Structure 1
């Protein structure tokens, strides 16, 4: 019986390298890698060896005949991907991969001196870079994070009811105790130390500082109490130390989430969940207590464009639609929505909504008492957040003109952007550090990886190839003699711990 990849796929392609018969696609050297919602096992080629399941860092791969409940349909989802593709067994011999992990050992000549490299950021982008440095080179790594708990996006960005996705953090954490790595937690670049000081103390510095700023809607009233960024809500239910336990007020019956990406779906799912279903998860205690007393009965997911343009992935929408006790509804008030769903070809995002109940929602009526409801409304652009003193609703362009959706909480989940780091160049238009293949423009020895490098695109697994490119550029520069001359040995411990109460140091 073949294996199948399921909902929690992180697309980092660890399974591709492990497969002995090349039955998992798309691979990193194929043009659609990074554009599909997940990776897929070809059931015609799979030899049931289980190597992919052993390699998967997020427990997403299982025998197809063992899939039950909400995961049962993933056997067909994997098979459907290959419906119009030739069998890989017919074109590739076993134990052959055109792609594999970067062979950094070939880049570095024998006897090349060990590099001192600082990596700023302990999220997935930074940790993939650390992993490459520790496993493929003899570099000494100083790992720095402004928070006193490592993990970044995995710890504070992944929804608490996705434990398998969070499990990749365990794979990263095994490097924290490596004998060539030192941890510096609670250290903020630009406050406790500077870009210049880090550059002076290391042969190279890799910045993996992410994109922490939420994009604004740019409408009047956005600053009112009750109007929140999704980053605040995500931080709240994940126990982020910089988000107050009281940051999210759940006293209103209706919440509007602007956006149709996976983060928007996460927020909607958590705010509408039965607290009993979250009790055994990684949710923060204060957030769970607030959900137990929540008045929320309806969450509206608002999309500016049609269902065919929605940004969510198929696995996340399927998980949302399969929950018990929560009804999923498509607002059919705009005829374009229904036409897109009915005309959608198999595999398109709009097609995922075929079979979901549709109705023209009357926004002047209160939300239904039972069951809790999630409403997807498309072709609606926010015009203004309503309310004199705090949020009372969201005005949007709808069929026939403007309509106000009464709501006590508005959450914007329309993307993220990077913020400037003192000492590094910054492109305000893209929210990134200008770079070429990870090399920071005009700053030899400085590199970027992850969202601060490429913008807020791609999930956890996309950072693996991104980090390989950046680390490869760093090593190329080292061997070619393009790194700045080392000006001192290693950064003194008092410097990295200065000014931050509770900063922690390892070794």
Structure 2
């Protein structure tokens, strides 16, 4: 983990008020007065956590105060002129697979695409077959092309998410409205991050454009587009919101035991040693966080 790179779990802990995250946010992640001002953020992942992180980074501090229980520390980071997070203009969500594989919940996705227009403009981006980002076809089947076989095996939720993404993509003319807010959310499908670039601090993310090929009537294969040059996205902060696994605890059944393979068994934790006001050293408390079927308001 370098300067300017953090996990979504760490950012969620910050805006949920975890005091340990507030302790060393600047120094630990290369976000602070001595580091570059953050205008572009890259979020790696295609699930609800990626959406939630992006939404909070692009929502005005005033709305966060009025509508949510977001921690004061996080709101100060977004509102203070001297804060490196106060100038965020664009958030790029990167998803290696296409819209059919998106793990967003319809309710969360609908809020981002349709109910936050006063805060930011949402745009869907997919690569063309020959490279670039003009929203064209990708491989033997386009990202938004209908397929009876793929539709047959999709769940009801996947169908709803796919339709929301397809409809939003088809309505986006690419033009900027005069009354549009100055912030943008880009959801890039078939964009595989392959390298974080920067000497002492993150400056860009290199992305490899992917294509989908219909292997049989009901399965897709994802691979790089032949001859397509890597895309460079400028970024001063990268947030990893993919492959976040929980820590098993005795007596608490894991949500996906077969996937995580720990059957709820405990796992050793590295904990910081902190000092209280009297100088006495103690182990920092351990916080267990999880998705509780609520958004930031909950």
TM-score (norm 2): 0.62
Structure 1 segment 250-329 matched on structure 2, within 5 A: 251-280=37-66, 281-293=68-80, 294-322=86-114, 323-325=116-118, 326-329=120-123
Q: Is the 8 A contact 2:126 2:143 kept in 1?
A: no
Render the CA deviation track for 1:111-166: whole Å, top value 9, x for unaligned. xxxxxxxxxxxxxxxxxxxxxxxxxxxxxxxxxxxxxxxxxxxxxxxxxxxxxxxx
Render the CA deviation track for 1:395-427: whole Å, top value 9, x for unaligned. 1102513111111001000022245xxxxxxxx
1:343 CA drift (Å): 2.3
Matched with 1:56 is none
Matched with 2:131 is none
Counterpart-to-counterpart distance in 1, 2:160 and 2:106: 9
TM-score (norm 1): 0.38
Render the CA deviation track for 1:150-208: whole Å, top value 9, x for unaligned. xxxxxxxxxxxxxxxxxxxxxxxxxxxxxxxxxxxxxxxxxxxxxxxxxxxxxxxxxxx
Q: Is the 8 A contact 1:255 1:408 kept in 2?
A: yes
Render the CA deviation track for 1:358-392: whole Å, top value 9, x for unaligned. 6799xxxxxxx943111010111111100010100
Describe the shift of the 1:388–1:349 C-alpha distance in structure 2 as closer, same or farther (beyond 3 A). same
Higher relative contact order (CA 8 A, sep 6+): 2
2:253 to 449, 458, 471: 449
The structure that has the greater radius of gyration is 1
Counterpart-to-counterpart distance in 1, 2:22 and 2:2: 17
Secondary structure at the residue paired with 1:324? coil
1:348 CA drift (Å): 4.5
Q: Is the 8 A contact 1:239 1:245 kept in 2?
A: no
1:253 CA drift (Å): 1.0
1:453 CA drift (Å): 4.3
Q: Is the 8 A contact 1:308 1:348 kept in 2?
A: no
Aligned residues: 213
Counterpart-to-counterpart distance in 2, 1:416 and 1:501: 22
Describe the shift of the 1:397–1:240 C-alpha distance in structure 2 as closer, same or farther (beyond 3 A). same
Secondary structure at the residue paired with 1:385? strand
Q: Is the 8 A contact 2:22 2:73 kept in 1?
A: no
Counterpart-to-counterpart distance in 2, 1:447 and 1:291: 39
Counterpart-to-counterpart distance in 2, 1:350 and 1:292: 35
RMSD across aligned C-alpha pairs, in angstroms? 3.5
Q: Structure 2: which 5+ residue stretches go unaligned?
A: 81-85, 129-135, 175-179, 210-224, 265-281, 287-298
